[in-house]
């Protein structure tokens, strides 16, 4: 058993973080391409585009970006309810969150022919926010599983720390966040490759990733 496994909760393992990042890249690549260049998890992009559309006087169009932002906020708040109402017993609090996200994405895909594109993105944003709030750390380090900006900063900052201090922990951290960034890239690549085969059902790939995370959180080392 590695030192990181011993010192950190199971849900903070690197394997979990990599799958979370892969899932976000997978979902956002799909929604960006097929739902009006909007993101389900990367709300910075939606905020910027809402500002652009509003500046052009397209108030109705701005709603298409504002709704996912609002529901992302509500999703993070809803995960607080999950934490308080579903205590860790047979399942951890993180597994409860993953279950809600998985079931939610399945329902969104099934209903995709009956709901508007904006509703589709808005609901996905709600469920991706649950993921973000449920997994705030990797190996004890703060990280974001739905965007790469902070992770990129961590790579640069840790590399410079290593250069000046020769602290190998900083070098290890830089490598860790580099892997997470690559996982985002891999998820986007995989999603795009799946589209010609699965079309509107591509996001079932996301539920497969989430199921893998759910199973990995079971601690079989005890």
What confidence tens digit (pLDDT) does each residue in 158-200 have?
999 999 999 999 999 999 999 999 999 999 999 999 999 999 9
Section 212-216 average pLDDT:
96
Q: What is the DSSP letter of 142?
A: E
pLDDT at 6: 54
For the chain, the residue count is: 222
pLDDT at 220: 52
pLDDT at 222: 46
pTM for the model: 0.91
Q: What is the DSSP letter of 58?
A: -
CB 131 within 8 A of CB 20: yes
Q: What span, in angstroms and rounded, lies between the C-alpha atoms of 72 and 27?
A: 14
Q: Is the pLDDT of residue 7 over 80?
A: no
pLDDT at 2: 44
Q: What span, in angstroms and rounded, lies between the C-alpha atoms of 16 and 203?
A: 19
Q: Which helix (H) or strand (E) holds 168?
A: helix 168-198
């Amino acid at each position: 058993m590695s030192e990181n496994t011993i010192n950190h909760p199971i849900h903070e393992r690197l394997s979990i973080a990599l799958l979370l990042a892969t899932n976000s890249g997978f979902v956002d690549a799909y929604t960006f391409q097929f739902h009006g260049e909007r993101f389900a998890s990367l709300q910075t992009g939606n905020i910027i585009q809402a500002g652009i559309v509003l500046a052009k006087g397209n108030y109705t169009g701005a709603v298409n970006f504002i709704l996912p932002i609002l529901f992302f906020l509500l999703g993070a708040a809803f995960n607080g309810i999950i934490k308080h109402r579903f205590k860790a017993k047979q399942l951890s609090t993180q597994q409860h969150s993953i279950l809600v996200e998985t079931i939610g994405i399945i329902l969104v895909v099934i209903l995709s022919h009956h709901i508007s594109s904006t509703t589709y993105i808005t609901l996905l944003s709600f469920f991706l926010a649950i993921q973000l709030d449920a997994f705030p750390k990797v190996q004890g380090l703060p990280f974001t599983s739905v965007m790469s900006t902070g992770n990129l900063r961590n790579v640069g900052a840790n590399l410079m720390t290593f250069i000046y201090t020769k602290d190998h922990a900083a070098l290890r951290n830089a490598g860790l966040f580099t892997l997470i960034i690559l996982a985002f890239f891999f998820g986007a690549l995989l999603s795009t490759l799946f589209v010609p085969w699965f079309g509107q059902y591509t996001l079932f790939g996301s539920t497969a990733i989430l199921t893998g995370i759910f199973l990995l959180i079971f601690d079989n080392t005890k």
